[in-house]
Amino acid sequence: MMKRYGSVEAGGTKFICAVGNENNEIIISEAIPTTTYEETIKKVIVFFEKNRVDALAIGSFGPVDLDISSEQYGCILNTPKQGWTNVNIVLPIQKALNIPIFFTTDVNSSAYGEMHLNGCNNLVYYTIGTGIGGSAIQNGVFIGGIGHPEMGHQLIKKHPLDVNFNGVCPLHGDCLEGLASGPSIEARTGKKGQELEINSTVWDIQAYYIAQAILNTTLVIRPELVIVGGGVMSQHHMLDRIKMHFKKLLNNYVTIEDIDKYIKTPSVENNGSATIGNFLLAKNLLIKN
């Protein structure tokens, strides 16, 4: 019989549940608003009780505990989202459905999907939205020794036209997220990214920072491919700006054969690569068992 795989994209605004077939095609999906922990998880369980799957992968907003040997495995850790700190989002679903569950970060799910869609084994994924998240895969294995990456908080150099801006990260001020996330645009200009005129120098400043992040992970990890997604990247001019800065900053130090194939936006709209990534991660559980 054809197997069915489940995906949960656990986000701060909504939990997207989906069921896929062996070909990663979505059979049914539902967006559940993120309300209280109990109510949200209950609705996820109800969805999968109605729509049975053989295995499930959950990609969650973070930080999360991914260490299977830890007591907190499956928990969302210290999140600013009220009522969601130290709640376990794997255990109750596992108990109710009694199927294998793979638990990871939302960016890891997206990265895994993109790896498959691009047919490669080594990739870095950045999402530039309300926060900045990052994921890396080497030879099909997620990078993250004692925890998942937190690439959004790396430190980078200031743009000459941005020296007086202190950044919006509550913890670090001018880390990457503090300087290049969506809210940093609003802090600089008083306008949301979707409203800011295309010829504002702020775009170039943002692109300069994102290019540095890509450069740093290029030099640390040496991936085959870098995907940049998230709300801010819906500005289509951003990709070219990032590539331009990346090229200039790298100055040919390592060989990137074709920059248009090296830095790309996601293959599927609306973070659909996370769903596919989850289907594949769920499938892996059955292969391994």
Ligand X SMILES: Nc1ncnc2c1ncn2[C@@H]1O[C@H](COP(=O)(O)OP(=O)(O)O)[C@@H](O)[C@H]1O
C-beta closer to a second copy: residue 138 or 265: 138
Which of residues 4 and 148 has its CB atom nearest to ligand X in the complex?
Answer: 148
Give the shortest CB-102-to-Zn ion separation in angstroms: 28
Asked if 127 contacts 230 with a C-beta cutoff of 8 angstroms, the reply is: yes
| Interface of this chain with ligand X, residues 220 to 259, rule: CB under 6 A | 230-232, 234-235
Count CB-CB contacts under 10 A for residue 263.
23
| The only residue of 26, 96, 239, 249 in contact with a second copy, by rule CB under 8 A | 249
130 is a contact residue toward ligand X (CB under 6 A):
yes
> How far apart are alpha carbons 215 and 209 in whole angstroms?
10
Please report, for residues 134, 136, 157, 223, 254, the alpha-carbon distance to residue 220 in angstroms, rounded to integers and kept in the order given: 14, 11, 17, 9, 12
CA distance 148 to 109: 12
Binding-site string for ligand X from residue 190 to residue 209, where x marks contact by CB under 6 A and - marks none: --xxx---------------
Interface contacts to Zn ion, rule CB under 5 A? 153, 169, 171-172, 175, 177
> How many Å apart are CA 262 and CA 233, to the nearest integer?
16
Q: Choose, by CB under 8 A, the member of 91, 99, 221, 268 that binds a second copy.
A: 221
60, two tokens? 């969650």
Q: Which of 64, 76, 90, 156 binds a second copy (CB under 8 A)?
A: 156
For ligand X, which is the closer residue by CB, 50 or 192? Answer: 192
Rounded-to-integer distance, Cα 18 and Cα 75, Å? 21
Nearest to ligand X of 53, 180 (CB atom): 180
* Residues 35-74 as x/- pattern, contact with a second copy by CB under 8 A: ----------------------------x-----------
Strand residues in the chain grouped as ranges (E) = 5-10, 14-20, 26-33, 55-60, 75-76, 87-88, 101-105, 123-128, 132-138, 141-142, 225-229, 263-264
Q: Which backbone phi and psi does 93 adopt, to 5 degrees?
A: -70, -40
Q: How far is the CB of 19 from ligand X (least distance, A)?
A: 23
**Token pair recorded at residue 281:** 């991660």
The entry of ligand X, Zn ion, a second copy, none near residue 237 (CB within 5 to 8 angstroms by kind) is: none
- Among residues 131, 149, 182, 266, which is the contact residue for a second copy, using CB under 8 A? 149
| Among 28, 31, 219, 286, contact with a second copy (rule: CB under 8 A) | 219
DSSP-assigned letter for residue 19: E
DSSP state of 211: H
- The residue (of 20 and 62) whose beta carbon lies closer to Zn ion is 62
130 contacts a second copy (rule: CB under 8 A) = no
Burial group, residue 267, by CB count within 10 angstroms (0-12, 13-18, 19+): middle
The option from a second copy, Zn ion, ligand X, none interacting with 232 (CB < 5 to 8 A, set by class) reads ligand X
Between 79 and 284, name the residue whose CB sits nearer to Zn ion. Answer: 79
**Where do contacts with ligand X occur on this chain (CB under 6 A)?**
11, 129-131, 182-183, 192-194, 230-232, 234-235
